[in-house]
Structure 1
Amino acid sequence: MLPDWVVGNRYGSQYWNFIKSKFPTYKERRNFIYSEFSPIFDYIEKSGIYPISESFEELLKVCNSPNLEIVWRKCIERRIHDPEGAITSARTLLESTCIYILEMLNEIPDKSGDLQRLYKQLAKSMNLAPDMYHEQVFKQILSGCGTVVDGLAGLRNKLGDAHGQETKQVKPSKRHAELAVNLSGTLCSFLISTYEEKYRNK
């Protein structure tokens, strides 16, 4: 997929000799570079490749939960062209994961709609609450997980599309959506992995 001229002109001096002999003006050179790299950009944007995609999708296969797969796919599909929707889906993914695991543990999930309360219920059930540990490093990490939950809930309320918005509402960008999706996916991956390793066959 990488253009042949890039492979053959790896150094600045090589590239300059190539491009100046091919096109006399900077405008032509810019247009050429854009057209040559557009297929690569399109592939990256449409492929769904994400830092945690492969490992998380493998976990979803183990879970065999169509609902989680649908929500994760929405996160991936919306992250570029619909940041608000991606942020809302990221929050939904975390909520759905908590509910899924609690149900697998034969517990009744909190129905209040409060994500923080739901996560605390799950953390207690899976021995992931910070106050259950004496080692400072574990307390810090697990407290950080709780902070991520709080942040996702707040981000969705502020920048997601689940509520009506003010006229001058700040619009989230792609980077905000990527942050929300990555945080949610990473935490959900940890929660599902913990369940599979410690509780699945008990």
Structure 2
Amino acid sequence: MTAAKFSPNKLLLPALLVLLIAGLTTALLSGQKTPLGKGSTSGGPAVSASLPQLTGETLRLADYRGKVLAVNFFASWCASCWNELKGFEQVSREYAAKGVAVVGISVQSSPQDTRGMIDKLGLTFPVGLDEKGAVSQEALGLRGMPTTLFFDREGRLLDNVTGEVSEAELRAKLDGLL
């Protein structure tokens, strides 16, 4: 009696199929709007999140009521996040006089990595720390980085974008809320 020979080629097709399905799923989901958790539906009230900052102060989203607010969730390990944050910094400086605030929330990144990112990019807007994803993933159900939420002056969530936002897109979104 002879033993059947193991052929790695028999595993190749199923493995490629799994990778293809995973890649397509990721591509399809990354272009969708992010589903938001309870208490934060589009047009609904803002999440009353409070997060520590590297400065020792507390970032409270409720403090921005009365301003148009862009909240950018980013991570130090996310290349798209690095790409878009310089534009967010520029817009933050230019739009402050118009009653617009930009804040960042660093997700699943250590304080040291977040500090390095802030310093390297020259970010001056407030950044909250969500090291364990309690706000971004558990409370809001965000699934991808970067994600940006847009709130009106009354604190209602009006739009959200998962994926990289160019400076021009950010300006257009904010201009539409002013």
Provide TM-score, normalisation by structure 2.
0.32
Q: More relative contact order in 1 or in 2 (CA 8 Å, sep 6+)? A: 2
Structure with greater Cα Rg: 1
Q: Which has the higher helix share?
A: 1
